[in-house]
Amino acid sequence: MMNTTYSDPAIASYINANFYPVKFDAETKDTIEYDGVKYKPTGTEKRDPNEFAVKMLNGTMMYPSTIFMNKAANFTMSAQGYLETKKIEPMLVFTLENGFRNSSYEDFNAQFQKAFYDSLQTKSYESVKWQTPLQFFIKDKKPDQKKKIIFINTEWCNTCRVMYRTTFSDTAVSSLLSKHFELVNFNPETNDKLYFQDKEFDNIHSKELPFHQLVYALSRNGLLFPQVIFMDEKNTVVDAIPFYLNPNVFKNIVRFYGEDIYKTKNWETFIKSRKQNNSS
């Protein structure tokens, strides 16, 4: 892995930019201190592992093993055995971009492979009908019969690209979308002058607000990538949902808001009833 995977320029660049990479000898005889706890060798023999390695690998001593950690979100994931470039890519993205918030790794990996390596997927996601912010956020915009979904995403956000290419084009999802929603694909780095609720918004490119002012208003000043904004027929924001959403999760959310279920039930009650109906 050191000579192949980690020597890949793209992988090395991504890791150096976003992670603290640590190469750890599981059989080191050094005393290790981590999070205020000291870890020592479990024995004096050459192959005896360090207590820290035993802890991190839950006692399953297989080499190589890779631990992916997002300390801010208290997330840890391990992978045992050799990881080629194509296999480690989604693991890095899943960890860094909080893919674990709304998805299992197995499902995210399946969608990631489809998004980036399945040439047949291109036709599917290109068939989704999007408006640009300049087309939708116009002066004196009038409400209409459909609800709206504003998808806030960027080109450098990989989970955004996975959602754009797989979640929105999922057959079950797209059927609900076409029935209930208009879709707006909003890159917050745009410089267009936009209008919303009788106010004018620009991209002022300040250090404090590096993206278009409108995305902060839509996300209720809680901007995270990707983010899905749900609006009702009066163009009023009813919810702003951050992080990657896989097709199964997104399908339920689209139904919840598209069919006005949110007006009579809370999310927990709705999901509970969905699970009961699916099991019966």
**pLDDT for 11-67, tens place per residue?**
999 999 999 999 999 999 999 999 999 999 999 999 999 999 999 999 999 999 999
Between CA 76 and CA 200 the distance in angstroms is 43
- Flag whether 106 is in a domain: no
Same domain, 161 and 204: yes
* 3 lies in some domain: no
Asked whether residue 42 is assigned to any structural domain, the reply reads: yes
Query: Is the same domain home to 269 and 130?
Result: yes
- Same domain, yes or no: 268 and 150: yes
Q: How confident is the model at residue 278 (pLDDT cuts 50, 70, 90)?
A: confident
Where does a domain end: 96, 114, 146?
A: 96
pLDDT in the model for residue 276: 84
Q: Return the ∠ at Cα 174 (arms to 134 and 116), rounded to 5°.
A: 80
pLDDT per residue as tens digits for the range 114-142: 999 999 999 999 999 999 999 999 999 88
Q: What is the pLDDT of residues 87-100, one digit of tens each?
A: 999 999 999 999 99
Burial of 212 (0-12, 13-18, 19+ CB in 10 A): buried
Last residue of a domain, one of 27, 61, 96: 96
The confidence band for 220, taking pLDDT boundaries of 50, 70 and 90, is confident
Average pLDDT of the chain is: 96
Residue 210 lies in a domain: yes
- Averaged over 201-222, what is the pLDDT? 94
Count of the separate structural domains present in the chain: 2
pLDDT of residue 198: 92
Same domain, 169 and 256: yes
What average pLDDT score do residues 95-113 get?
Answer: 98
Same-domain pairing of 40 and 153:
no
For the cut 70, the answer to whether the pLDDT of residue 280 exceeds it is no
Position 164 in a domain: yes
- Let me know whether 89 and 155 are in one domain: no
Assess whether pLDDT exceeds 90 at residue 152. Answer: yes
- The predicted pLDDT at position 144 comes to 84
Residue 101 lies in a domain: no
In a domain, 2, yes or no: no
Residues 89 and 156 in one domain: no
Residue 277 pLDDT: 82
In a domain, 152, yes or no: yes
**How far is residue 55's CA from residue 61's CA, in Å, rounded to a whole number?**
10
Give, in degrees to the nearest 5, the angle at Cα 181 between 259 and 159: 105
pLDDT digits (tens, 9 = 90+) for 157-205: 999 999 999 999 999 999 999 999 999 999 999 999 999 999 999 999 9
- Banded model confidence at residue 279, pLDDT cuts 50, 70, 90: low
- The CATH number linked to 217 is 3.40.30.10
3 state SS for 207-231:
CCCCCCHHHHHHCCCCCCCCEEEEE
Tell me, yes or no, whether 173 and 249 share the same domain: yes
Q: Mark whether 134 and 247 lie in a shared domain.
A: yes
Residue 41: give the domain boundaries.
9-96
How far apart (Å, rounded) are the C-alpha atoms in residues 183 and 128? 9
Residues 34, 159, single domain; the answer is: no
Q: Are residues 146 and 250 in the same domain?
A: yes
143 pLDDT more than 90: no
Clarify whether residues 153 and 216 are in a common domain.
Answer: yes
What pTM, to 2 d.p., does this model score?
0.94
Q: Is pLDDT at 147 greater than 70 in this prediction?
A: yes
Token representation of residue 172: 């079950």
